[in-house]
Structure 1
Amino acid sequence: MKYELVVTDIDGTLVDDDKQVSEVTLRYIDKFREKGGLFTIATGRGEKAARPFIEKLHIDIPAIIFNGGELYHSETGPLYVHYLDKNIFNLVIDCFLGTDLGIVTYHRDRIFISDYKPPHDLYMAQERVDVERVPDIKEVDEVNKILLVGDVGKAKQLIRNLEVKNGIKINHVQTEDVYLEVIPDGVSKGEGLKELCSYLGVPIEKTVAIGDHMNDIDMIMAAGCGIAVENAMDEVKKIAKFVTKRNTEDGVAHVLKKVLNL
């Protein structure tokens, strides 16, 4: 088989606009596995939000979560975890506490907020996960990432200002129209894919990666065959080797059927 491993983003790629995986997609995933293929997800979601998809898809190999910050196996737990540098964490939190953007932080399967703002309603409606309310968000010791919800253009400018003021680089990536994520230095889905390939013993040229947003670009470029869904951002489609159908038209199933000749 030319490609041994398929890795797909979840939101905007694997699932439809109601966050559902179609029966057609599930069927083709099973067919791929029957031929000896390996299938998993790569997502910005943490353990809690990724777990329902891991279970529904019967994923039995590690998943790339937190945009590559953690390689997670549902049975044995994390194979590695990268946490945000505490100095970067404090700088970003101090910068955004007084703004109208919502701040969400993560530690493994726990999700935290402190000062509740209207953008948090967007987050809660989209992610459908439970969060813990804490008096001071800076009390959370180890953080996988910071999610900033709201005006992404404003968030990017404030991050740039922080970088210039402090003479540093802050690893950040847009993951949705209203999401900007601050993640540990060196972390990306592309690096996560390389780590996964090393763990599985699969040559990276024998991988397929599918995505739709800016945080998928590194992974799509790293894979043997990088694919964008039709509804992907233009920047993503430009670097993809192949553009499949939309997420609402079983784009992942189309990849498995056409590219992998199932």
Structure 2
Amino acid sequence: MKPYENTILISDLDGTLIPRGGRVSQANRAAIERFVRGGGRFGVATGRTPEAAAGYVGELPITAPSIFFNGAMLYDWQKKSVLATRTLPGGDVWPRFAAQCLAHFPQACIEVYTADNCNIISDPANDDPRLPHEFYRYQHVQLVDVADTERTPWLKFFVSDEPARLAVLEEETKAFGIGALAHSFYSEANYYEYVAQGVSKGAMLEEIRRLPSCAGVRIVALGDYLNDNEMLAAADVGVASGNAHEGTKAAADVVGCRVEDDLVPWVLEHVLRDGL
């Protein structure tokens, strides 16, 4: 029997597998390859699209179902096929809420994610500085271009702004009644996101468990920020990186090394070897 049989290792990207602004280290890459050779299956869980993630992890042996759009999509990396999606409900509520955001937060970068595109509906002058460094297509459109949510369902709604203004957005979200339709959360201090109610990386991890090919597997999940908390709690072993948000450390079973010190080799040495 191989050492990692019946184990899935699923990792968040930024701040967990990849230092912000960096790439997957050679040490992490070698550890993932060793894990897969040893019978394990490796997957990723990210707020990014599959296309965006490919620029960072496309050369890794991704052999497990993987989570994208912070839980709104489950994807088979090897077959390049979508296994499941969870779209935002509510019809024209979302275009109306987006219009309010555009009016009330004129400095924000506001993005609408559909299954095949990132649509930026805010002024191009507000674009998030990360965009030119990403590995995916995005387009600047008018809100009216994506307002027909029946024809083009929204998977995720995203606002990037200063933390103080996002605190105001949280209050407006409650007043608008979006809470009944959406799970909203911070994925960074200056990123506030919306997916369908009940959608999270943790909920999609449970979908992975229900796949016939994953029945009875042990799942070890790695993360660093609040949008990872439910995934770490749902996993058999949740591991927070040493640089993780304090709330994420509290949600984890184990706190490992910092992202800069290569978390995957640490997990193979301290978690999978010791059988925690």
In the superposition, the TM-score normalised over structure 2's length comes to 0.86
Residue 144 (structure 1) shift: 1.0
The aligned residue for residue 83 of structure 1 is: 87
Alignment match of 2:245 (pick from 210, 229, 233): 233
Contact 1:209 1:220 in 2 (8 A): yes
- Residue aligned with 2:185, SS: strand
Taking only aligned residues, the RMSD between alpha carbons, in angstroms, comes to 2.2
Write the mapping of 1:161-176 to structure 2, written as runs, cut at 5 A.
161-166=172-177, 168-169=179-180, 170-176=182-188
Alignment match of 2:161 (pick from 147, 150, 156): 150
- Residue aligned with 1:192, SS: helix
* Partner Cα separation in structure 1 for residue 215 and residue 261 of structure 2: 29
Amino acid paired to 2:28: T
Contact 2:112 2:121 in 1 (8 A): no
2:233 maps to 1:221: yes
Residue 223 (structure 1) shift: 0.6
Residue 247 (structure 1) shift: 0.7
Deviations 1:52-101 (A, max 9, x none): 34422121332100111100113241111111122442243022111121
- Residue aligned with 1:94, SS: helix
Alignment match of 1:246 (pick from 222, 241, 258): 258
Aligned residues: 261
2:171 maps to 1:160: yes
Residue 235 (structure 1) shift: 0.6
Which region of structure 1 is more displaced relative to structure 2, 163-172 or 84-93? 163-172
* Partner Cα separation in structure 2 for residue 118 and residue 92 of structure 1: 21
Amino acid paired to 2:261: E
Amino acid paired to 1:106: Y
Write the mapping of 1:172-211 to structure 2, written as runs, cut at 5 A.
172-199=184-211, 200-203=213-216, 206-211=218-223
- Residue aligned with 2:137, SS: coil
Amino acid paired to 1:37: G
Alignment match of 1:9 (pick from 3, 9, 12): 12
* Partner Cα separation in structure 1 for residue 144 and residue 133 of structure 2: 21
Cα separation, partners in 2 of 1:91 and 1:145, compared to 1, 3 Å: same
Cα separation, partners in 2 of 1:52 and 1:196, compared to 1, 3 Å: farther
Residue 125 (structure 1) shift: 4.6
Cα separation, partners in 2 of 1:35 and 1:167, compared to 1, 3 Å: closer
The aligned residue for residue 102 of structure 2 is: 97
Residue 257 (structure 1) shift: 2.4
* Partner Cα separation in structure 1 for residue 94 and residue 38 of structure 2: 45
Amino acid paired to 1:259: V
* Partner Cα separation in structure 1 for residue 155 and residue 254 of structure 2: 32
The aligned residue for residue 261 of structure 1 is: 273
* Partner Cα separation in structure 1 for residue 176 and residue 143 of structure 2: 25
Residue 152 (structure 1) shift: 3.5
Cα separation, partners in 2 of 1:18 and 1:193, compared to 1, 3 Å: same
Contact 1:29 1:256 in 2 (8 A): no
2:66 maps to 1:55: no
Higher helix share: 1
Contact 2:219 2:236 in 1 (8 A): yes
The aligned residue for residue 130 of structure 1 is: 137
Deviations 1:10-39 (A, max 9, x none): 000001233311111111111111221111
2:49 maps to 1:38: no
Contact 2:70 2:201 in 1 (8 A): yes
* Partner Cα separation in structure 2 for residue 168 and residue 67 of structure 1: 17
Instruction: Provide structure 1 residue ranges, at least 5 long, that are not aligned to the other structure.
Output: none
Which region of structure 1 is more displaced relative to structure 2, 214-223 or 191-200? 191-200
